[in-house]
Amino acid sequence: MAVVGGGFLAVEVASTAAALGNEVTWLCRSRQPLTGTVGGHAARELGERLGGITVRTGVSVAGFAGRTAVTGAVLQDGETVPADVVLVAVGHRPALGYLDPAVFGTRHGVPVDERLETAVPGVFAAGDVASFVDPFVGARVRHGTWRNAQEQARTAAGAMLGDPAPYRSVPWSWSDHFGTNVQVAGQVDETAEIVERRGTRGVTWFYLDGGRVVGAVGIDAGRDVRAAMLLMEGGVPVDPAAVADPAVDLRATTGVTPA
């Protein structure tokens, strides 16, 4: 099997296919797979856990070999990587053909305001398709995650019933592969101050801006990522030394308690 793409879906399929006894080649355009999804620190650590597969980085797939069935993935330099099955996981685009772009302003998604209402009063958009200004990112984005779809559905339903509360939810996603759980919350901004918190079981990288947590990536460290989300939700100032110390209970020191 050849798996094309450097994100969560690709690595999850590669992991599952390998566990089922298949010979897997993972083809990634980037030098370090998963960097765009989890940042450089976590990507490097996860890269060391990719057991039992062949990883080819810095390669681009130009096409496929085979007449009646696929026999391989053809790279840009002409090399063919043999495969009976190829999985391409290189991103997605919302299908917007049924919406008039002049009316809805659609481009890469359906633009909505903070209550998820589109440019047309009474028409709302939520989930993967909705393009909104995320206060936790500070930019107009679309999130393709389960949590975003679930939480935006709540806000949109409330807005339809007259609730003025804006959409406000820390972005969060996860992945399980190669025996590892990875969680990403908030913004993975490589220009931010990055604080590593390494415990006996897992490791979390906290992304800080102006003394506040703006993002976190945890490997086998769900509890720390959850604490980071509470800190982001509350906009709580943190001490980087305390964040780095796995002996410090982050929730207790900040006084933040789960809702």
Ligand X SMILES: Cc1cc2nc3c(=O)[nH]c(=O)nc-3n(C[C@H](O)[C@H](O)[C@H](O)COP(=O)(O)OP(=O)(O)OC[C@H]3O[C@@H](n4cnc5c(N)ncnc54)[C@H](O)[C@@H]3O)c2cc1C
Among 67, 69, 93, 98, binds ligand X (CB under 6 A): 98
Site track for ligand X across 152-191, x = CB under 6 A: ---------------------xxx----------------
Does residue 205 contact residue 41 with C-beta atoms inside 8 Å? yes
128 touching ligand X, by CB under 6 A: yes
Among 16, 57, 71, 145, binds ligand X (CB under 6 A): 145
Instruction: Between 22 and 145, name the residue whose CB sits nearer to ligand X.
Output: 145
Report the candidate in 173, 171, 215, 222 with the shortest Cα–Cα distance to residue 193.
215
d(CA 162, CA 240): 41
Instruction: Between 98 and 162, name the residue whose CB sits nearer to ligand X.
Output: 98
HSE-CB at 175 with a 13 A cutoff on CA atoms is: 22
Among 149, 242, 248, 256, binds ligand X (CB under 6 A): 149
Of the candidate spans 30-38, 64-72, 142-150, 202-210, the one that interacts with ligand X by CB under 6 A turns out to be 142-150
d(CA 189, CA 210): 13
d(CA 45, CA 192): 19
Among 82, 140, 146, 157, binds ligand X (CB under 6 A): 146
- Signed CA dihedral, 129, 132, 135, 139: sign only: positive
HSE-CB at 221 with a 13 A cutoff on CA atoms is: 25
Nearest residue by C-beta to ligand X? 127
Per CB under 6 A, residues contacting ligand X are 9, 95, 98, 127-129, 144-147, 149, 173-175
